[in-house]
Amino acid sequence: MNGPRPGAEEAGLSAWNDPPGGFHPVSAPDYLPREQLRAVQLQRLQSVVARAYDHVALFRTRMDERGLTPASIASLGDIAQLSFTVKTDLRDTYPFGLFASPMEEIVRLHASSGTTGKPIVVAYTQADLDVWSEVMVRSFAACGVHRGDVVQNAYGYGLFTGGLGAHYGAEALGATVIPISGGNTERQLMVIQDFGVTAICCTPSYFLHLAESAKEMKIDFSKLRVGVFGAEPWSEAMRDRIQQDSGIKAHDIYGLSEIIGPGVGVECAAQHGVHIFEDHFYPEIIDPESGVVLPDGAEGELVLTTLSKQAMPMIRYRTRDITSIIPEACECGRTIRRISRINRRSDDMVIIRGVNVFPSQVETALLRVEGTLPHYQIVLTREKGLDQMEVKVEVTPEVFSDEIRKLEALQHHLESSVENILGLRVKVTLVGPRTLARSEGKAKRVTDLRNV
């Protein structure tokens, strides 16, 4: 066999196929014409429904109960005949009851943290891992990350899908990956500075903590260009603050273990909604009460069906995330549809004196007040049968004054800002810097002491 043409190695065979910073060919499916995309979706939907029916007792039973067979799916609209899958289905079939592949074909297991009872377990065949890498490469490419970038992956490695999902995606892209995992803020900052990190993956609240510590320790962040932030809901106001303070471009990445992990969707350069990788994950928006499918543009609960998963197909999985599908085309030219920013989950919601409250609303209210950072915690108590909501906010050097009346004015300002958004009286308490617990993963915003 002949060796490579002289010089081909230097030019890099992949160079024509993957120009750093240019259009990455792996993004091509993002731009499929809608008609062809729908054809791919239908073909894959029929195949995944057949696979679920043939290999998973729960799906077969539910379809039989409704008199359905895989042949009932003749169009994409027919998906509405199928039953929803919910989180408790994963718990009830713990650990392996929803697997559609024998263990011989499963190459990876992940599990959720399991804050309530048993964790949920998810499985991948090699083909599933390949799809996961592909959607993560497409995610990074949409964020403008490319070969030559140094990616600090501060998502937790382990059973959590965040760490390994981002890791293999960034590697497949050809970027340089630092598998630092979560935690150890000082080491994170040293590595960002010394290794010239250009892109970082973590939760937005942890990045805020990193940026704040960097300022104190006078760490040079100037090479950092892109943040790929996910795994918790965050607000547009928080993005503005992060971008202003650190000069990076902050992208929202969406995913959940039940579907695949991170990489179900991502924001493009336009930063206006998360593009769902529709050729692998079919999105629907439903009315959370009635279960009826809503048209594009209407707000409701996001329901996802995995179109290509082998080891653990998910049929119409209810995500509990409240959003809407954006009907307009995106300025980036991608044809895969976007969902509007998810800043609330139906299970994050707390009901206070009959009013529905989402932590993201409190975050938005606090950020409206000049100089404040969203290090906050919501504490719910019940006094004389009445719900009380206290918001603890850390004092920053920007807002601290040596005069009592100015701090009291700040407190009232924060209270009325929250009150304006929630329509509820709240008590804001100023607390010392760094007294609220920092999470290295998902931030815990609400402490509910009402039922103790």
Partner 1 sequence: MKLKQLSLFLENRPGQLRAPLEALGRARIDLLTMTLADTAQFGILRLIVADPERARKVLQDDGMVVNVTEVVPIQVDNRPGGLAAVLASIEEAGLGVEYMYDFAARATPDRAVIIFRFEDPDRALVVLAAAGVRVLTSEELL
Q: Give residues 199-258 in contact with partner 1 (rule: CB under 8 A).
A: 216
- With CB under 8 A as the contact rule, the residue among 397, 423, 451, 452 that binds partner 1 is 397
Give yes or no for residue 407 binding partner 1 (CB under 8 A). Answer: yes
- With CB under 8 A as the contact rule, the residue among 97, 158, 291, 433 that binds partner 1 is 433
Give yes or no for residue 383 binding partner 1 (CB under 8 A). Answer: no
Give yes or no for residue 370 binding partner 1 (CB under 8 A). Answer: no
What distances in angstroms separate CA 143 from CA 23, 248, 274, 436, one per listed residue? 11, 11, 11, 31
CA-nearest of 256, 189, 245 to 217 is: 189
The H-assigned helical ranges of 297-379 are: 359-367
Give yes or no for residue 408 binding partner 1 (CB under 8 A). Answer: yes
Give yes or no for residue 401 binding partner 1 (CB under 8 A). Answer: yes
The secondary structure of 151-219 as a DSSP string is EEE-SPPSSSHHHHHHHHHHHHHTPEEE---S--HHHHHHHHHHTT--EEEE-HHHHHHHHHHHHHHT-
- With CB under 8 A as the contact rule, the residue among 400, 409, 425, 449 that binds partner 1 is 400
Applying CB under 8 A, which part among 24-32, 149-157, 362-370, 404-412 lies near partner 1? 404-412
Residue 48 or residue 189: which is nearer to partner 1 going by CB?
189
Running DSSP on this structure, what letter comes out for residue 37?
H
Helix (H) or strand (E) holding 142: helix 126-142
Number of alpha carbons in the 13 Å side-chain half-sphere of residue 2: 4
- With CB under 8 A as the contact rule, the residue among 118, 382, 425, 434 that binds partner 1 is 434
- The least CB distance from residue 408 to partner 1, in Å, is 7
Tell me, residue by residue from 166 to 205, as one string, x for binding to partner 1 by CB under 8 A and - for no binding: ----------------------------------------
Give yes or no for residue 429 binding partner 1 (CB under 8 A). Answer: yes
- The least CB distance from residue 330 to partner 1, in Å, is 43
Give yes or no for residue 390 binding partner 1 (CB under 8 A). Answer: no
Contact call for residues 66 and 60 (beta carbons, < 8 A): no
- With CB under 8 A as the contact rule, the residue among 4, 10, 432, 437 that binds partner 1 is 432
Characterize the bridge pairing of strands 150-153 and 176-178. Answer: parallel
CA-nearest of 62, 48, 41 to 100 is: 48
- The least CB distance from residue 385 to partner 1, in Å, is 24
Contact call for residues 388 and 380 (beta carbons, < 8 A): yes
Residue 218 or residue 384: which is nearer to partner 1 going by CB?
218
Residue 177 or residue 418: which is nearer to partner 1 going by CB?
418
Contact call for residues 430 and 391 (beta carbons, < 8 A): no
- The least CB distance from residue 380 to partner 1, in Å, is 18
- With CB under 8 A as the contact rule, the residue among 164, 266, 395, 422 that binds partner 1 is 395
Applying CB under 8 A, which part among 110-118, 157-165, 352-360, 392-400 lies near partner 1? 392-400
Number of chain positions touching partner 1 (CB under 8 A): 19
Residue 327 or residue 371: which is nearer to partner 1 going by CB?
371
- The least CB distance from residue 388 to partner 1, in Å, is 15
The token pair that represents 221 in the structure block: 């962040």
- From the number of C-beta atoms within 10 Å of its C-beta (0-12, 13-18, 19+), residue 64 rates as exposed
- The least CB distance from residue 43 to partner 1, in Å, is 58
Helix (H) or strand (E) holding 424: none
Give yes or no for residue 10 binding partner 1 (CB under 8 A). Answer: no
What distances in angstroms separate CA 447 from CA 42, 360, 432, one per listed residue? 44, 15, 18
- With CB under 8 A as the contact rule, the residue among 431, 436, 438, 450 that binds partner 1 is 431
Applying CB under 8 A, which part among 33-41, 54-62, 193-201, 407-415 lies near partner 1? 407-415
The secondary structure of 219-254 as a DSSP string is ---TT--EEEEESS---HHHHHHHHHHH--EEEEEE
Separation of CA 435 from chain center: 27
- With CB under 8 A as the contact rule, the residue among 403, 437, 451, 452 that binds partner 1 is 403
Packing angle between helix 204-217 and helix 185-194, nearest 10 degrees? 70
- The least CB distance from residue 422 to partner 1, in Å, is 21
- The least CB distance from residue 216 to partner 1, in Å, is 8
Tell me, residue by residue from 40 to 79, as one string, x for binding to partner 1 by CB under 8 A and - for no binding: ----------------------------------------
- Rounded Cα distance between 144 and 134, Å, is 15
Taking the alpha carbons of 277, 183, 243, 220 in that order, is the dihedral positive or negative?
negative
CA-nearest of 274, 15, 289, 19 to 135 is: 274
- Which positions touch partner 1 (CB under 8 A)? 216, 395-397, 400-404, 407-408, 411, 429-435
